[in-house]
């Protein structure tokens, strides 16, 4: 089963965040995402033709976030959207973040 086929499971905290090594294993399935901030966050920048295309993509990501109950931090403007994923309750990375990354990659591939 690929990450994109999985569903985020509610994370109420109380579990340790992924280690950098563990994150690197999940990261192999979403190589376009950078693991940053001491392996507490993954992010990817997407490029678009203009502002409207970037915002349309952000809305698709937003709909996914509502479905999965897991919400990214997004920077969006003319021609770009930067999506950052972290599991805030554990101040670090969880498999859920990589599941979201894989599903966001799928959105980008479908709309790109």
> What is the contact surface with a second copy in residues (CB under 8 A)?
51-52, 55, 58-59, 62, 65-66, 71-78, 88
Token pair, residue 106, equals 């799928």
Dihedral sign, Cα of residue 31, residue 35, residue 40, residue 46: negative
Nearest distance, CB of residue 108 and a second copy, angstroms: 18
The Cα 20–Cα 42 span in angstroms is 11
Of 69, 68, 97, 67, the residue nearest 83 (C-alpha):
97
CA 63 to chain centre: 13
Compare residues 39 and 84 and give the one whose CB is closer to a second copy.
84
CB of 32 to a second copy, least distance (A): 21
Q: How far is the CB of 79 from a second copy (least distance, A)?
A: 9
Residue whose CB is less far from a second copy, 27 or 72: 72
Closer to a second copy by CB, 58 or 104: give it: 58
């Amino acid at each position: 089963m690929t990450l994109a086929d999985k569903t985020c499971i509610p994370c109420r905290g109380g579990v340790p965040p992924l280690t950098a090594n563990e994150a690197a294993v999940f990261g192999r399935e979403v190589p376009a995402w950078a693991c940053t901030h001491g392996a507490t966050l993954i992010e990817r920048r997407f490029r678009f033709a203009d502002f409207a295309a970037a915002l349309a993509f952000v809305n698709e990501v937003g709909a996914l976030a509502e479905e999965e109950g897991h919400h990214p931090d997004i920077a969006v403007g003319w021609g770009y959207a930067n999506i950052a994923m972290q599991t805030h309750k554990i101040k670090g990375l969880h498999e859920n973040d990589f599941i979201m990354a894989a599903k966001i990659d799928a959105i980008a591939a479908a709309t790109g």
